[in-house]
Structure 1
């Protein structure tokens, strides 16, 4: 749960969580991969909370979790969202904000050399525009200090704030803080940092991390004696970027010796560093490249932290995800890694736990490197692992699905209920409005299955907090979903039976009518091509589990179209047994309708061209890729009209 200091920081930042209760926030800290389950409001609130606590010296997740999981999720959903293009604000302290002497932007980040090369290409294009020789340009590489950003104009010291407005914190110089390397005041942007070895020796037992200490220097009215001593010992300083040690040279040299240069620069100062800054030094190039509202285009940060630590596993806790997969979370003896105190790590899946021997007493090597942090890099001392046999959420016996243990009780498992209801409407595909936010609200009001949703009227929706118009729209969509035609295989797949996705449902119902599926034996299912005995056993159990709900929903009168066809009537058809791919815009009807028609003739419909494809049917505005693939493989290509002539035979 949040500490009193963290709660105070959120209040200072004017963040009052509306969408994320503390228990859900704690769950996301422990299982950051679950960020994909959040709606947009929850995601934005999570980003704001993480940023405010990081800036205030009380981080709850690592930089890479924030960048690669949380921030990446927003980029995936809304690439142009305003949050992605604003400077992430430093926390506010007592006192009014003032306009900064210059705009202080964030820095764009890269985690791989390929991204750095793409940035260099953009510099090269800018040079070409103004007739400059790219090979003669000088690049500068400096350490990326992990401190508290500020700006010194010689008279006042300002926090970075939101990049345009900050606060006057000149008091830190009055308390005795000095400029690094005996530098003078007025050198512009820099960071308040503390000597790494000094922190580890004198302050690590008092402050959770160096950012926590840096923030205390700024916000405390009366300094803690330990902080005051650090200032007196000149271990805490303001380090202007202009005084940082640097490598300078042409791109060719930088590219050829990249790792060596980065390593040298990274370790050139005895302060916390979380990367290096690369920039082109030519003033005209900088002017041409300019900046976004978030960062300068002529500058980029390279972050590739590879610090490791060996730590003991205390226990491995199984947790059920919304999709039914069981995620193993390793509880660890607390260890400090790259400035963060870590006590948990995700082991990804139980096959990893089983094969590598991760359990109580195991010694593992953690690394904060790349995109998922912390990561279990290796198991130094394996033990006999404990593999759960039943779901921790509902007690159902677990089954293996490749690398994963899975709970198949999707209808009644508390961890899966909302996902199961969302899945039904998403797969049915003939309704709108029943996305994650709606389902979450319904669940909070005691709605635990899809049948109960279909019993609601507009007044009941309103009583749960939906607006009058939205409530009527939801009722209308429920009616629509029963009236509009839906294929029997789609209706069956909507129940989420394990191993019965759209493809397997379509295969099964091509041989047996929907009404008979609960009477099928394992032998009946194995008789269908593509179903093994183990799968048939699981499917039969799944059908038994969904039967009560299925029968209640089926009785509501859905307009279900049958897939089962008489093979005697289709076996002589020109399409029978052929694999067909449709591409382009069709005039005969929608592509979905044409696919359904082709299947009724006994054809197999695929989405991509392979060596098994028999016909590629092309409409208007055809993609060249599929045409080239078909020609290369000698596949018959026919126009829409040629196809129509064929099926009339």
Structure 2
């Protein structure tokens, strides 16, 4: 009897959730919904063996967490390139058409929220993660469960990954700030910050109380499900029970895209949630593959950012900061002003030439905008509103941190401090070294690094590995547990692959992508240290400027001493990623285009793909005359049929595993 009632309550609550949060057509009152939910919770507490992971009761918030676990995205969550005007959109369209010919686009509203990834196995929601740096995010599964428009169980038992934007509706934001103000707490600046803060609460009950929502905008493994376009994928996601944004349009021309952009620029204030632009994507997955992606962004999509909101305020001062490369940057200190939902007190002035060109003086009334609704910058001064008390600004001739003479290098507008012992550069270099894309040392934020530096405990990055618990406990707000966790994180960073160390060292012109290329090519720090400019620039992605910078960096005596010190502490100096080895050249997969189809019994599709790629193969989703090999699992369908029609070699899973074992035994 209890089981039947529990199943009936779950069915009703899931139905009412879908009607209210996805269809926006509620069929029962809030009071009736709450009554049924309380009855379900009571029954599940009485009969805990009957509680299931897809029960609607799981949305009220589970147990609080001690910390968020890291999640590595199976497919990177790339960011989008931006367009700021009609010309940028036409340039994007021209590049796309030059590559793939006739094309259709899908235009969607760019929700101002937090990008997340959600995974389902056999139809059940099993994990949700933040975007993070695009490669690694944080597990926020329990918090995402509190979003009632996100299905805990799909209408079909599918295994899939979807991407979406979690956001806080305007009415939820207003209610939250009213409650916080009534309690004397600081209010949130905008709905996006409120949503991000809610999803990063360690206690899911707090997230549940914030009434977040979510639109799903991508199906990662769509082609595995027989879907061939983005518009089809969105329709399919909707059929599975996901909430997709209805304000989307498929456009055949760039003129239709521009018309859609212009119409929503006018209508955006009337939406019940914030948007900051329009996302334009090539509809065909086949064309998306043809266009490919850079290290940061897909070439088949672009985000049109609405013009920045502007405000007028007073510039009360200019502050100088010295970055890790020695560049001295002026920052405007402003009388607080609200722009695009946030209070702005600082804004970029970029460099001395820009200040002079805009005629900006300290004390001026200035126009400030947020570029792309994110980065505040001073647009112009309003000289007609001057009182005579304004003061001109002059960049200093010497470093504000160490007193060394500032220089302007050939071809640069920035003034730079060239003193390698400049405290600001060392401090900023330390912050860069421990950052997420570099050595990724949890617990070493900017404030802790500044404390360590100010206390004289670290002078360079090697000193981090000599820190003791007693030294850490002497720092302000550093407890026993925090100190232990920090030392463990520092110790764990010693095992990082070479590319993280290379990026963390802050070699000029060497970003994260270049560091990975160098690590893969040279494999050890010793080989890279000995590399000539000719060897470096022979690598396709390494240019003259980067080559010169790398050779100059490793020629310095202080760098050699630093690397020796890091070695003495046990910091790894070798590449741990996958590299084309000699085994690849004897591999039957080397240089071949391979398609996986059907269900594999021993490996997941992603595991098989990774193993093939490690041995030099290229895995694609569709069978064509360019396909060299098809590996067919159980219930292989149209791809297997097409492979046979084209006379392409086909292996079953047993043959594939046999070959994999042979490769392992020969390496």
Output the TM-score relative to the length of structure 1: 0.39
Structure index of larger Rg: 1
Output the TM-score relative to the length of structure 2: 0.38
